[in-house]
Amino acid sequence: MTGVGAHGRLANNYDPLPVTVVTAEGAWVTGDDGHRYLDLLAGYSALNFGHRHPQLVAAAQDQLGRVTLTSRAFRHDLLDPFASALCALVGPSLRGEPMMLPMNTGAEAVETAIKAVRKWGHRRGITEPTVVVAQDNFHGRTTTLVSFSTDEEARAGYGPYTPGFRVVPFGDVEAVAAAIDETTVAVLMEPVQGEAGVVVPPPGFWPALRALCDDADVLLVADEIQSGLGRTGTTLACDLWGVQPDLVTLGKALGGGIVPVSAVVGRSDVLDVFTPGTHGSTFGGNPLACAVGLAVVELLADGSVVEEARRLGERMQTRLDDLVADELVVDVRGAGLWAGIDVDETRGSGRDVCLALLERGVLAKDTHGSTLRLAPPLTIAERDLDDGLEHLADVLSAL
């Protein structure tokens, strides 16, 4: 057949729910059908402050009237303030004296972290550095990142694959210890696995991982692109356990739902491996991104958004625990305002639940077939959250 397929001019790499969003505000979006929908996905945590948060929109609009792009060939006046503010926000959660390197997407931030730890290893004479990663990880879609994905859908057909990664079960510190040898430069993991279905490791895992990395002189890298910036009711998810990683990747919410902004933040003696010409990005750290990123950091700085996420998160988990008790779902996992809900597959798929929720004006997204992920904006009104969860209970009862 010639010509275009059922998806027109758009490549078919997503299967969106049948809703076409035309406007949005806070936790609500409006479809081209004129209906309003409560957004309980919040762009996979890219919209932690809701749609079009007034302070973020104002910062972006203000910057649009000044300068939007210089490339890193020239200086601009917001890069240092953004770097200082971000390091001040997350520095206390990190090992050592922090510095940051701004990028755009999450995948680029993880790639940057991998390049940093590899080069750090090369400087120590490790010619073939390896990185230990977790099963069911999600770190992005580049060829290197899918090389160590264990999700066949994400990986198959994209070889040859980048070597240098060792995959171990998530949450198993013995397995990490067994995978570390003299070639190992880093352990790279999500504190809580997002795409895998909001999988929270045993409470002792991250503290044990920190101790192990210290003993083995290996860097601990936390991918907080989805878990960081308030989602778990703490500034970083690692704060849940008081663990300080050497490097952290941030993204998603850092762009305030307006522009892609990501960063690697962490030990200056590690990020110092980058010297002019050895790494970069045309758009990374551009003035518009810095203006929005700075406004995001300012929104988080006094801790009130994070505290509200913690409070609403407890409320949500209590409601979701009731669903398990009532045998409406198989299992619920969560941290802060973030939950993975395993639907009973004999009653329906995660997609079925999402479609029924859509009918009721609630947006959520399934992952891996039978798991539903909830990540409402941290700024959602308590009343809206309660209503959304009530719709979920009704949908599940009716399955």
Phi, psi values for residue 250, rounded to 5°:
-125, 155
247 binds ligand PLP (CB under 6 A): no
Q: Respond yes or no: is residue 217 known to be catalytic.
A: no
Stretch that binds ligand PLP, among 101-109, 281-289, 305-313, 354-362 (CB under 6 A): 101-109
- Which residue stretch of 55-63, 133-141, 200-208, 334-342 sits at the interface with ligand PLP (rule: CB under 6 A)? 133-141
Two tokens at 330? 């198989």
Quick one: which of 111, 184, 185, 190 contacts ligand PLP (CB under 6 A)? 190
Catalytic annotation, pick one of 49, 138, 165, 170: 138
**245 belongs to the binding site for ligand PLP (CB under 6 A):** no
Does position 230 interact with ligand PLP (CB under 6 A)? The reply is: no
Q: From residue 231, give the alpha-carbon distance in Å to each of 59, 157, 379.
A: 22, 33, 11
Q: Per CB under 6 A, does 201 bind ligand PLP?
A: no
Q: Is 171 in the site for ligand PLP (CB under 6 A)?
A: no
Q: Please indicate whether residue 252 is annotated as part of the active site.
A: yes
The whole-angstrom separation of Cα 377 and Cα 40 is 7
Q: Is 384 in the site for ligand PLP (CB under 6 A)?
A: no
The H or E element spanning position 265 is strand 262-267
Asked if 105 interacts with ligand PLP (CB under 6 A), we say yes
| Contact indicator for 395, 364 with CB cutoff of 8 Å | no
Confirm or reject binding of residue 140 to ligand PLP (CB under 6 A): yes
Q: 73 burial class (0-12, 13-18, 19+ CB within 10 angstroms)? A: exposed
Find the angle CA(44)-CA(47)-CA(52) to the nearest 5 degrees. 150
x/- mask, ligand PLP, residues 280-319, rule CB under 6 A, reads ----------------------------------------
Phi, psi of 248 (to 5 degrees): -135, 140
Q: Is 223 a catalytic residue?
A: yes
Please give the Cα distance from 93 to 90 (Å, whole number).
Answer: 5
- Which residue in 244, 252, 240, 242 sits closest to 222, CA to CA? 244
| Distance in angstroms (rounded) separating the CA atoms of residues 78 and 74 | 12
Nearer to ligand PLP, 194 or 233 (CB): 194
Instruction: Give CA angle at 250 (66, 91), nearest 5°.
Output: 95
User: What minimum distance in Å lies between the beta carbon of 157 and ligand PLP?
Assistant: 19
In the set 27, 99, 110, 179, which binds ligand PLP (CB under 6 A)?
A: 110
Tell the smallest beta-carbon distance from residue 331 to ligand PLP (Å). Answer: 21
138 near ligand PLP (CB under 6 A): yes
140: its two tokens: 């992005």
- Judged by CB under 6 A, the residue of 251, 266, 336, 350 near ligand PLP is 251
For the bound state, the minimum distance from the C-beta of residue 287 to ligand PLP, rounded and expressed in Å, comes to 20
Using the rule CB under 6 A, is 194 a contact of ligand PLP? yes
Cβ–Cβ under 8 Å, residues 371 and 197: yes
The Cα–Cα gap between 56 and 369 comes to 35
Applying CB under 6 A, what is the total number of residues that bind ligand PLP?
15
Closest CB to ligand PLP among 262 and 379? Answer: 262
Which are the catalytic amino acids?
A: 138, 223, 252
Residue numbers at the binding site for ligand PLP (CB under 6 A) = 44, 105-107, 110, 138-140, 190, 194, 223, 225-226, 251-252
